[in-house]
């Protein structure tokens, strides 16, 4: 008897931003495994077991899900956003690599979803209209030196930069440090967006500049986008033209 494991993302929050494929996976599960607030986005279904856990225990949650699937259950691991972007999919494959050899034979599948930076960009216009990068500022799993190196490279190569996990109670000062690095390589007038709760009914946007940005405005639910040299304001929108020469008339 073998079960299955599907790793899904609920999208940014609004039910209308969860894909039908993810909805179908959730409907077919015997067991849901995930961080409590993400599980809360999933409607209750009769006979379905829920295994809620703390946000920190990603690898334990992944192992629990794999063990359930190996015992014959049809398990769905629930992330927010897209499960492959700073979320549970990598944790599950880490657990496969370091765990029971039999787990490599399991039926494991990933369903893509709408990740936070896409929802944040859509709230504001099209700031990701050019080449861009995504960096998590959390240094739980990588060194601050690595983060600094990537920020510098991204600024010097003029990528639009999406910052995930810009701040938490344990790391209140890192976004300010990150902005110091970016200010040394980018113009003060560069557009900066703080998008809180993107893709939910509570979404708020602060549109500012690299020089003027107040980094204390970011919290765990904020996605920060720092523009490229061509990123600009038109009317109430911020966008990055497709051309490096600016808008084509």
User: Per rule CB under 8 A, is residue 55 in the interface with its own copies?
Assistant: no
Sign of torsion over alpha carbons 142, 144, 150, 151: positive
Q: Find the part of the chain contacting its own copies (CB under 8 A) among 41-49, 100-108, 176-184, 209-217.
A: 100-108
Of 154, 122, 121, the C-alpha closest to 136 is 154
Q: Find the part of the chain contacting its own copies (CB under 8 A) among 32-40, 70-78, 87-95, 187-195.
A: 87-95
- CA-to-CA distance for 183 and 87, rounded, in angstroms? 29
User: Per rule CB under 8 A, is residue 173 in the interface with its own copies?
Assistant: no
How distant, in Å, are the alpha carbons of 118, 133, 178 from that of 189?
23, 20, 17
Least distance between its own copies and beta carbon 19 (Å): 5
User: Per rule CB under 8 A, is residue 43 in the interface with its own copies?
Assistant: no
Of 244, 234, 246, the C-alpha closest to 125 is 234
Sign of torsion over alpha carbons 108, 114, 118, 120: negative
User: Per rule CB under 8 A, is residue 82 in the interface with its own copies?
Assistant: yes
- CA-to-CA distance for 11 and 20, rounded, in angstroms? 11
Q: Which is nearer to its own copies, 43 or 235 (CB)?
A: 235
User: Per rule CB under 8 A, is residue 119 in the interface with its own copies?
Assistant: yes
User: Per rule CB under 8 A, is residue 142 in the interface with its own copies?
Assistant: yes
Q: Which of 47, 143, 170, 212 binds its own copies (CB under 8 A)?
A: 143
Pairing relation of β-strands 125-126 and 237-239? parallel
User: Per rule CB under 8 A, is residue 150 in the interface with its own copies?
Assistant: yes
The neighbour count for residue 173, using CB atoms within 10 Å, is 10
Least distance between its own copies and beta carbon 200 (Å): 12
Q: Find the part of the chain contacting its own copies (CB under 8 A) among 28-36, 40-48, 82-90, 185-193.
A: 82-90
Q: Which is nearer to its own copies, 3 or 199 (CB)?
A: 199
User: Per rule CB under 8 A, is residue 105 in the interface with its own copies?
Assistant: yes
Residues 209-248 that bind its own copies (CB under 8 A): 232, 234-237, 239-245, 247-248
User: Per rule CB under 8 A, is residue 18 in the interface with its own copies?
Assistant: yes
Least distance between its own copies and beta carbon 204 (Å): 16
- CA-to-CA distance for 27 and 44, rounded, in angstroms? 10
**Is the CB of residue 142 less than 8 Å from the CB of residue 45?**
no
């Amino acid at each position: 008897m073998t079960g299955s494991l599907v790793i899904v993302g609920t999208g940014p929050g609004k039910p209308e931003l969860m894909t039908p494929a993810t909805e179908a996976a959730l409907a077919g599960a015997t067991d849901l495994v995930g961080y409590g607030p993400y599980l809360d986005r999933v409607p209750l279904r009769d006979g379905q077991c829920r295994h809620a856990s703390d946000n920190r225990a990603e690898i334990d949650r992944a192992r629990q899900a794999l063990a359930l699937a190996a015992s014959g259950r049809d398990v769905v691991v629930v992330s927010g956003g897209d499960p492959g972007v700073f979320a549970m999919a990598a944790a599950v494959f880490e657990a496969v690599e370091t765990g029971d050899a039999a787990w490599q034979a399991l039926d494991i599948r990933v369903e893509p979803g709408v990740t936070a930076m896409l929802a944040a960009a859509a709230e504001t216009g099209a700031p990701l209209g050019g080449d861009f990068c995504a960096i998590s500022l959390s240094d739980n799993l990588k060194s601050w030196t690595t983060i600094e190196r990537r920020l510098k490279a991204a600024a010097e190569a003029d990528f639009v930069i999406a910052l995930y996990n810009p701040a938490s109670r344990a790391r209140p000062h890192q976004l300010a440090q990150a902005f110091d690095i970016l200010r040394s390589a980018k113009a003060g007038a560069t557009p900066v967006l703080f998008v809180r709760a993107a893709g939910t009914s509570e979404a708020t946007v602060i549109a500012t500049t690299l020089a003027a940005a107040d980094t204390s405005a970011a919290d765990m639910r904020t996605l920060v986008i720092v523009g490229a040299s061509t990123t600009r304001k038109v009317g109430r929108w911020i966008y990055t033209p497709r051309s490096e020469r600016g808008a084509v008339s």
